[in-house]
């Protein structure tokens, strides 16, 4: 799969959502293996802090939906979280463990997968999570010579990430593709915006580029629409169904 090398975006054009999309349990090491085997050049995943401060890869603030655990991630130490097992898309418990951020990053380096790390703070821990995750990603990127992208919906988390790892690229996540967010993104030192595909338009794509920002979208699972947006200048898309896109000549 070809990596986009434009003035706005220097990463793969297709990123598997939450490590592997529907290829494996959400945010799992198995998902990374499946994404790489399929031919993905990059993955997106979520990083949150456990009670002890260890960064773990999970989307929800609570454990019930995606694991066989209970309670808030922020209230449970890594020593307990590491014993949990992930659920599949049907809710069945699998053998896949809940991974630490370090495990996911090291697997990305081994598989040569670009890492889009979404800083996903639990409530009230925006700055702490931004600093901790960015510092860890920065150390990993320097050691592995990888080129990650940090992203978040939280301005506070992104500002803290910028302080901890000023050399690492950042993107602002948007619930809606709103051009008024471009000033926020630039103020935070972001190189890109990543917007909800349901409100993505050609006008937004062009406006982001005019503002000097790369533009990606989440979560694109419609092959025809995704290819159309890529043809219109979209720099990248995040998808649960990477098989729709990785074999396309446009990638």
Q: What residues are annotated to the active site? A: 17, 59
Q: How far apart are the C-alpha atoms of 169 and 151, rounded to whole Å?
A: 9
Is residue 44 a contact partner of residue 17, using CB atoms and an 8 Å limit? yes
DSSP letter for 174, please: E
Residues in the chain: 251
The separation between the first and the last C-alpha atoms of the chain, rounded to the nearest angstrom, is: 5
DSSP letter for 75, please: G
DSSP letter for 121, please: P
Nearest-Å Rg of the Cα atoms of the chain is 17
Q: Using CB atoms within 10 A of its CB, is residue 115 exposed (0-12), middle (13-18) or buried (19+)?
A: buried
């Amino acid at each position: 799969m070809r990596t986009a090398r434009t003035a706005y975006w220097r990463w793969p054009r297709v990123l598997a959502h939450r490590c592997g999309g529907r290829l494996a349990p959400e945010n799992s090491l198995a998902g990374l293996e499946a994404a790489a085997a399929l031919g993905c050049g990059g993955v997106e995943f979520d990083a949150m802090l456990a009670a002890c401060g260890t960064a773990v890869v999970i989307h929800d603030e609570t454990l019930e939906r995606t694991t066989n655990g209970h309670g808030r991630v922020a209230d449970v130490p890594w020593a307990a979280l590491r014993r949990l097992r992930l659920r599949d898309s049907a809710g069945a418990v699998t053998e896949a463990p809940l991974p630490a951020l370090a495990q996911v990053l090291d697997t990305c380096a081994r598989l040569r997968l670009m890492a889009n790390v979404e800083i996903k703070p639990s409530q009230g821990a925006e700055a702490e999570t931004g600093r901790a995750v960015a510092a860890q990603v920065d150390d990993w990127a320097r050691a592995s010579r990888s080129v990650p992208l940090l992203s978040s919906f939280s301005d506070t988390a992104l500002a803290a990430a910028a302080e901890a790892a000023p050399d690492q690229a950042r993107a602002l996540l948007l619930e809606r593709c709103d051009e008024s967010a471009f000033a926020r993104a630039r103020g935070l030192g972001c190189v890109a915006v990543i917007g909800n595909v349901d409100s993505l338009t050609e006008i937004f794509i062009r406006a982001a580029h005019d503002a000097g920002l790369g533009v990606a979208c989440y979560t694109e699972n419609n092959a025809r629409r995704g290819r159309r947006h890529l043809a219109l200048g979209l720099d990248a898309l995040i998808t649960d169904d990477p098989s729709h896109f990785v074999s396309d000549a446009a990638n």
